[in-house]
Amino acid sequence: MGAVLVLGSANTDLTVRAERLPRPQETVTNGEFSATYGGKGANQALAALRAGAQTRLVARIGRDAFGERLAEHLADSGLPRKGLIRDDTAPAGVALIGVDREGTNQILVAPGSNKNLSPQDLQQSKHLLGGCSVFLSQLETPLETVQSGLEAAREAGVFTVLDPAPSRELPEAIYPLLDLITPNEREAADLTGVDVASPESAAKAGRLLLQRGCGAALITLGGQGALFVSADREELIPPYSVRAVDTVAAGDAFNGALAAALSEGTDLHAAIRFAAAAGALSTTRSGAQDSLPAREEIEALARSS
């Protein structure tokens, strides 16, 4: 069994929960405020850790008040300090999140020190790839750094996973570095130009991603489940039925748990089912990292169907 190395962002999440989300130029009052921790990199690293994997995170964190608390939180949660690179030039990242009564969210991010994470930082942290079997990244840090991480992981023979979120155009050189890409409907549509709204359209988008060089594509479809596409297989993995209260970090829970299962040598079908259970459980709780489920909970839900 190998470890999981996550390259990505770390933020403080400032959340307001209200009856509904505002329309443009509108103010919605009577919300409830909370400050928690987030960032897709940190979320996915902690999701993998709680799902049972030995996990390392490479992130850049400012030395402002938010950053000091964030770095201590991540270390106290069990992530090695060696990968938490401190930044003297920029504040730590902050996300502003609005959540309505149905659990739908809107998110604005000020990346701060996350945008300074560089290939040089990664080179200095390259030793953390030792003993890893899965490398996982997202797109809240510079693309050149993500690409450098994927190249280093490939060179080391580590299985590579990219969650292409938030949605943005990718250099063609990145696709052949991916053993697995895990977009949601919007991200798959943005990457391929296919209007992804069904398993059939997701399959079309998945095949286009394979043509660009990805080893496989796993497109999450919300209440319709997730569609896995490889050169020799297309499979729809059904969702778990839960009562969602907050969808913040559901994708992060999914990707972190997926990486954890893959790091143990779990076959891909079982790993996806495990990840789907983690993502579903995260929607039943409020917050980002506070909603990430423990391994025992994930296994219990996975066994229930």
Selected catalytic residue, list 190, 195, 252, 290: 252
pLDDT at 285: 87
Provide the β-strand partners of residue 181: 162, 217
Residue 195 annotated to the active site: no
- Three-state secondary-structure class, residue 228: strand
Alpha helices in the chain (DSSP H): 40-50, 65-76, 119-124, 143-155, 185-192, 199-211, 250-263, 268-282, 295-303
Res 32: pLDDT: 95
SS3 8: coil
Query: Is 227 in contact with 234 (CB distance < 8 Å)?
Result: yes
Domains and CATH numbers, the chain: 3-9+40-89+114-303 (3.40.1190.20)
Q: What is the pLDDT of residue 61?
A: 98
Amino acid at 248: V
67 class by beta-carbon count within 10 Å (0-12 exposed, 13-18 middle, 19+ buried): buried
Which amino acid is residue 244, in one-letter code? A
Q: List C-alpha distances in Å: 152 to 9, 119, 178, 252.
A: 18, 10, 12, 23
Write down the pLDDT at residue 258.
98
In tens digits, what is the pLDDT along the chain, a chain of 305 residues? 799 999 999 999 898 999 999 999 999 999 999 898 999 999 999 999 999 999 999 999 999 999 999 999 999 999 999 999 999 999 999 989 898 988 788 888 899 999 999 999 988 998 999 999 999 999 999 999 999 999 999 999 999 999 999 999 999 999 999 999 999 999 999 999 999 999 999 999 999 999 999 999 999 998 899 999 999 999 999 989 888 877 778 999 999 999 999 999 999 989 999 999 999 999 988 777 888 999 999 999 988 86
Q: 157 with 131: CB under 8 angstroms?
A: no
Give the side-chain half-sphere CA count within 13 A for 177.
20
Question: CA 285 to CA 15: how far, in whole Å?
Answer: 14
pLDDT value at position 223? 85
